[in-house]
């Protein structure tokens, strides 16, 4: 996971618009914000995304 993807995740988290475990909604918000790297990352490496969210 790149620093850019981490920053994008944290930016979406800070909006408070969704539960971060709702990956479909996170992807929708990411797409709307132009965070295409994050959309693809969640699609291809969902387990790594979830581990990051859970702090593992």
Over 90: is that where the pLDDT of 56 sits? no
- Tell me the C-alpha distance between 2 and 16, whole Å: 22
Place of tokens 């859970």: 54
Whole domain around residue 15: which residue ranges? 3-54
pLDDT of the residue at 50: 98
Question: How many domains does the chain fold into?
Answer: 1
Tokens of 35: 């965070």
pTM: predicted TM-score of the whole model, two decimal places: 0.94
Helix locations, the chain, DSSP H? 3-15, 23-33, 36-44, 46-54
- Tell me the C-alpha distance between 39 and 24, whole Å: 9
Closest listed residue to residue 13, CA positions, set 27, 31, 26: 26
Q: What is the pLDDT of residues 1-47, one digit of tens each?
A: 999 999 999 999 999 999 999 999 999 999 999 999 999 999 999 99
């Amino acid at each position: 996971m790149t620093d850019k993807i981490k920053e994008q995740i944290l930016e979406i988290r800070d909006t408070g618009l969704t539960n971060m475990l709702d990956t479909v909604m996170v992807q929708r918000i990411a797409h709307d914000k132009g965070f295409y790297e994050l959309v693809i990352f969640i699609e291809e490496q969902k387990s790594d995304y979830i581990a990051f969210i859970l702090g593992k």
